[in-house]
Amino acid sequence: MAAMTTRSCPCGLPDPYEKCCGRFHSGAASAPTAEALMRSRYSAFVRLDAGYLLRTWHPGTRPERLDLDPGTRWTGLEILGTGDGSAFHSAGTVTFRASYRGGSLHERSRFERVDGAWVYVDGDVLG
């Protein structure tokens, strides 16, 4: 896993944040695939960017507000599998493990396109 001292993006890809998820967080670009959106949402959790998380949440399942715990120490994201969710699909799933100090979250998330942009719908927490 990427060490916290490297300048690679929090999502685990080797590119610097500004050239990776930062482009999506700033609105300069939108995530082309469900996996890219998933990665950018993980990076938003790391950076406590609740606004981005709400913007990329399906309007039908989006919470009214989101309180992120600044005490959570996210330590890495592992993409375990994807289903559809490419530039040519309108829905897709991403299975991942997001690790934090003291535990991890293993989930299969569902994504859809709304007005062309990928959004998070909901997810099943796996064992």
Q: Which residues bind Zn ion (CB under 5 A)?
A: 9, 11, 13, 20-21, 39
- Nearer to Zn ion by C-beta: 10 or 123? 10
Task: Report the C-alpha gap between 84 and 51 in whole angstroms.
Answer: 26
Task: Report the C-alpha gap between 111 and 91 in whole angstroms.
Answer: 6
Residue 11 CB, nearest approach to Zn ion (Å): 3
- Nearer to Zn ion by C-beta: 22 or 124? 22
- Nearer to Zn ion by C-beta: 9 or 94? 9
Q: How many CB atoms lie within 10 A of CB 111?
A: 30
Task: Give the DSSP H/E element, type plus range, for residue 68.
Answer: none
Residue 6 CB, nearest approach to Zn ion (Å): 13
